[in-house]
Structure 1
C-alpha cells in the first residue's frame, strides 16, 4: 500500500457521483476530502453518507481547497468542459465523466488545459478499466478469434421524462447519443480504431434531442452495428466476431462480469471476472497510478483516445442534426 492517501474532491452529487463515491471507499489509498453542490443541504447529506471531510455550496470553493489533489466531475454534460478547464487551471488533476464534452472543439480545449498546466486529465470511461474488457482486449490482440470483422453492441433502456429529466433536457446535453451512445462507439473504437465511414440515423424528440440512434461504422475489412436508445430496451449484450470465432460479453456488456468464447460456433469456455464494487474502482486505481508516476494521461485511455472518440461522436452529431447551442 502507498504511504499516503490521494485526496479527492467530487463536483456534482447525483446518482453517478454516489456510485463513484461508494467505490472510492473501497480503495485503501483514497480519501474523499471535499464535495460540492450548489445545494448545500445536498452536499451535507452526501458528505455525511460517504465520509467527506468538507462540503461546499460552490464548485469554485472546492477548486480552491488546497488539500484536494484530484477532482471527479459528475455534473451534467453541458458543464464538463468549463469545469474541467477551471479545475486544471487551479492546479488540480481531473477525471471528468463521459462524455467529456458536447463538441470536439471543447474536447481539444480540455486536453490543452491538461498539457498547459501539467496536470493529469482523463475522461471517466470506466468500462475501459474493468477486468472483462481488459481480458477480451488481450485475447483479441493475441488472435484468439482471428481478425475482427464484425461488432454488434447496444445500450438501450426505457427512460421516463418525469423520472429522468436530465436525459430529455436539451440544455443539459440530453439524448441517447451523448449519454449512452458513446459506450458502443467506445467498444468499436478500442477494437477497430477510427472508422473509414460512418452512417447514422436517429429518431428525435419534439425538443430535437435524439431518442434513439443507430450507427454503422465502416472499416477496411470490418463493420460495427451499434445502437443507443432512451425509449426502448435491449438485452445489452455485445458480440465481437472474428475469422476464427467470437466473444460475447455478458449483459450489461459495458460493466460485464464475464464473457463467453466461441470457436467455430462451439462454446469453448465462459469466464467470470467480477468488478470491484460497481466498477468505478478500476478507473480510480488507474488515476492513482498515473498521479503517482507523474503522468498527465493514462496509457490505457489516453488524451488521443478521448479526442478520437469525440471526433467520431461529432460526426454522428452532425449527421443526425443535433445542436446544443
Structure 2
C-alpha cells in the first residue's frame, strides 16, 4: 500500500506528542496539518516535517492525498469534524472522549457506517502493552475472581482563567479530560455497571473540579476519582480473591505493573515504543489495510457503551454542556 498519509486537525500539545510517535511507525507519513491559525499550522508542519500546512480545516478535508485524519481539537469539535472528515471520504481517529455525549457519538458512528470508512476513538490506553497484558492476566484468572477496582486520575493544576479546562462550551472539566480513564478501566474489566453513584464539585464556570464515582456490578464494585485539585499516586489496583494487580504510574501510559499473591510481589516491565501512541496508530493501519471500518480491540460499541456511562455520571452530578443542547 505504501505509506499511510495522515492529516492532523487541532495542533495542541497532544498532537505534538502524537506526531512524535507517528514518526516512529514505519509505514506512516505526516502529510498535512491544519489549524485556524495559518502561522501555527506552518510552525507545526516544520516541526514535524509534514508536506502541507493549511490555515483552515476544510482545505485539509478536501486534500485528496490524505487517507486518515487525526482529530485532536477540544472535545466540543470532535463530532462535527469527524463527521465532516468521514463525509469527505477520510478515515478518522478521533481523540478521546469520542464526543460530548452518546447522541453525538452515535451520529459519528453512523457516519462511519454510511461512508464505509474506518473510525475509532483514540483511547490509546487500550493498546498499551502493559494494559493489554494486565487485562489478559485478569481474564485468565491470575488473581482469581476480580471483585473490586480502585482507580484515580488526578493531579493539581494551576489553570489560567479562560482555559479550555474550565470552559463548558469546550467540554471542560475533569470528567471528560481525566475521569474517562478510570471509567474505561472498570468497563474493560466488568462491562456495563448495574448502578452508578456520582458526585462532583465545580468551578465557577460550571465545569467539574473533581468527580467521584462508585460503580455497582452484580458481584463487584469500582471506586473512581478525577480531579484537577489533588495529587494522587495514579496507580490503580485491581483486586481479586487470590491477589491484586497494581498498574505503574502514570497508569494510562504505563510501562509496567505488579502482581501480588500470598504477600509476594512480582514485577513486570513493558517499555513502550515512543510515548505509546504507536500502538493505536498501528491498529488504524491494520484496520484500513483490511478494509475494516472499526477495530475489534476498541470497537464502535465499546465507545458507545463508555460514553453512555459518562453520560449517566453527568446526569447524576448535574454537569451539562450548553453546546450539546444542554445535555
Among 143, 149, 167, the residue aligned to 1:151:
149
Partner of 2:305: 308
Structure 1 CA distance, aligned partners of 2:167 and 2:155? 17
Structure 1 segment 86-105 matched on structure 2, within 5 A: 86-105=84-103
TM-score, with length taken from structure 1: 0.98
Structure 1 CA distance, aligned partners of 2:187 and 2:6? 30
Q: How many Å apart are 1:163 and its aligned residue? A: 8.0
Structure 2 CA distance, aligned partners of 1:69 and 1:44? 20
* Cα offsets for 1:36-70 (capped at 9, x unmatched): 00001100010001010000011111000000000
Deviation beyond 6 Å, 4+ runs, structure 1:
none
Instruction: Give unpaired runs (5+ residues) of structure 1.
Output: none
Aligned length: 322
Structure 2 CA distance, aligned partners of 1:134 and 1:217? 22
1:197 aligns with 2:195: yes
* Cα offsets for 1:105-129 (capped at 9, x unmatched): 0010001000111000000000000
SS at match of 1:287: helix
1:62 aligns with 2:44: no
SS at match of 1:32: strand
* Cα offsets for 1:150-188 (capped at 9, x unmatched): 001000011222188111112111000011100000000
SS at match of 2:141: coil
Structure 1 segment 1-325 matched on structure 2, within 5 A: 4-162=2-160, 165-267=163-265, 269-325=266-322
Structure 1 CA distance, aligned partners of 2:107 and 2:158? 34
Q: How many Å apart are 1:266 and its aligned residue? A: 2.2
Aligned-residue Cα RMSD (Å) equals 1.0
SS at match of 1:296: coil
Instruction: Give unpaired runs (5+ residues) of structure 2.
Output: 323-327
Q: How many Å apart are 1:220 and its aligned residue? A: 0.4
Q: 1:266 to 1:164 in 2, by over 3 A?
A: farther
Structure 2 CA distance, aligned partners of 1:147 and 1:254? 23
SS at match of 1:277: coil
